[in-house]
Structure 1
């Protein structure tokens, strides 16, 4: 497999109903290109060094992104509502579409 591509396993229910716990997402390594609204990204948690998150971009302010899970239950996702905006420098990968 090309090193620019990776598979990410979803952990938890924050992205339900789009993704379930244990689903595998095909991703492309982030190369610094502009991120669009609604993109699903994989990123380093801004406050927990060893935690990697999968969330959807819902707002963009320059190099800052507001991300949240798809689950409509507000307590199902730890996201920008909890830790604030993230920097694009936190992004590891974006969901891949062929």
Structure 2
């Protein structure tokens, strides 16, 4: 898991070094990037199902998995770009979600 956070923090630092704007602007652009990546998941699912009559079966389920990974990584990069201790924040949040799930909420 450490390697994922090293990659995440490296990507976040690289992006921040190329986009010299206020925090809120950087976060907003990253949120838009996250939405773009989610759209690519939808496109891949449509392609895996062959649901677009113009494109047919343009993707497979491994393409969908790759796009989902892009969404996850983009979300973690956004969290890292927002500062603080992103790993601690994410892990605490995940434990809270798990606790609510265990409680039947």
TM-score range relative to shorter protein = under 0.3
Return the structure number with greater strand share: 1
TM-score by length of 1: 0.24
The structure that has the greater radius of gyration is 2
More helix by share: 2
